[in-house]
Amino acid sequence: MGIFFDLWNMKIAITAKTIYSNQEIYRNQTILIENGILTHLNIKEIPLDAKVLTCDVLSSGFLDLQIYGAGKTMFSADLSYESLEEMEIVLLTQGCTGFLATLATNSDEVFFKAIEIAKTYQPKVGNFLGLHLEGPFINPQKRGAHISSYIKRASIASIKQIISHADGIVKMMTIAPELQSEEVIDLLNEANIILSVGHSLTNFKEGIKFFDKIPAATHLFNAMPSLHHRDPGLVGAIFNKKPYTSIVADGVHVDFEMISMAKKLLHDKLFLITDAVTACNHGPYQHVFNKNHYTMPDRTLSGSALTMLQAIKNCVNKVGISVEEAIRMASTYPAKLLTININYGQLNLGQPANLVLMDDDLKLEHVVFKSIILNANDSNIIKQVY
């Protein structure tokens, strides 16, 4: 069995060749964790009673704001506490210490059942942070793999019902704003639900205005009109207004050269999502694995097969983004959009531990999160988390 400890009532000292914390880079320093809390960033003497770990690269854990499933489960198809448990544990072994479980356009019954399960779920790990509803208020002409019969326009009544029922568990929604009223957008903003433009035919002039009220855009280039020299469209509005913008860095959903261009234009507003699904042969969304991605049975491109760490590696090795910046795209920048106060992207004293330890090739070695430390290379670790 691999290493698994409860961090309460113990000290962990971690010596790293390189530590990435937001914009800061530290070399050859030792941090100290006591009772699951980060207490020192550069301790000079390691306590005799501390367990000692070493690594080449240390950073905060990864944050995925759009993921459908992990392991052998896809939450929207397996609406249960067990599904969220499996996602939590599998994603932790991959270094993902925070995620929003995502649901595509679906029936009201599915959405409200998902909300009820998420609200009453008692986390096994604590990296489940809430829900991202990608639909149903999208544009049917840019539905992608979403099912057209479930797509609809938002009414004031339906939005109030979602807000009331969600009670804060819905953290993010992807909408086509050109089909929604200004009152709908205002209601969602007042409820502190992060809005993101996606699956949309919003034009350039509309997009410029929408991004005054909407802080984000969903999976850049996918399910939106292509950039055109006579019609800059939604992509042009994104490049102009620079909202927080997610991208799927698998080389399938977006070519690596386009990711490079987007990074140069959007800088610290471009962040990574996996948009990952799992193989599924039941329910309305049945995903079929195809070499390095997933499709619907009719071969429509659907979700990715990415992990967040693989997305980081792709940015480094395929796009030419620096290691520290690729890590920020997977932690710091989505954390700023989500506005959470835990150590995502930045190591803050007095906060619960939230760390990944890697070698120089970005191979994951250990994950330290709240009261858990695990050896990420042990296939039996899922059993030990319990």
Is residue 66 within 8 Å of residue 275, measured between CB atoms? yes
For 300-314, how does the pLDDT look when each residue is reduced to its tens digit (9 = 90+)? 888 999 999 999 999
**68 and 49 in one domain?**
no
In this predicted structure, what is the pLDDT of residue 378?
67
The domain tally of the chain equals 2
Sign of CA dihedral 264, 266, 271, 273: negative
For 341-351, how does the pLDDT look when each residue is reduced to its tens digit (9 = 90+)? 667 888 999 99
Q: Could you give the maximum distance between any two Cα atoms of the chain, in Å?
A: 67
In this predicted structure, what is the pLDDT of residue 384?
41
- Indicate if the pLDDT at residue 323 is higher than 90: yes
Active site residues: 275
Give me the mean pLDDT over the 149-162 stretch. 96
Residue carrying structure tokens 């858990």: 372
The overall pTM is greater than 0.85:
yes
- Indicate if the pLDDT at residue 242 is higher than 80: yes
In this predicted structure, what is the pLDDT of residue 337?
96
What 8-state DSSP symbol labels residue 178?
G
Give me the mean pLDDT over the 57-85 stretch. 96
CATH number of 50's domain: 2.30.40.10
Give me the mean pLDDT over the 81-97 stretch. 96
**240 and 113 in one domain?**
yes
- Domain hosting 305: range is 62-338
Q: What's the CA gap between 252 and 239, in Å, rounded?
A: 21
In this predicted structure, what is the pLDDT of residue 296?
84
Is residue 197 within 8 Å of residue 216, measured between CB atoms? yes
Sign of CA dihedral 205, 211, 212, 213: positive
Q: What's the CA gap between 175 and 133, in Å, rounded?
A: 9
Q: What is the mean pLDDT of the chain?
A: 92
* Cα dihedral 104→109→110→115 (10° resolution): 100
**245 and 316 in one domain?**
yes
- Indicate if the pLDDT at residue 382 is higher than 60: no
- What are the tokens at 235? 């992509």
Residue that is last in its domain, among 306, 322, 338: 338
What 8-state DSSP symbol labels residue 231?
B
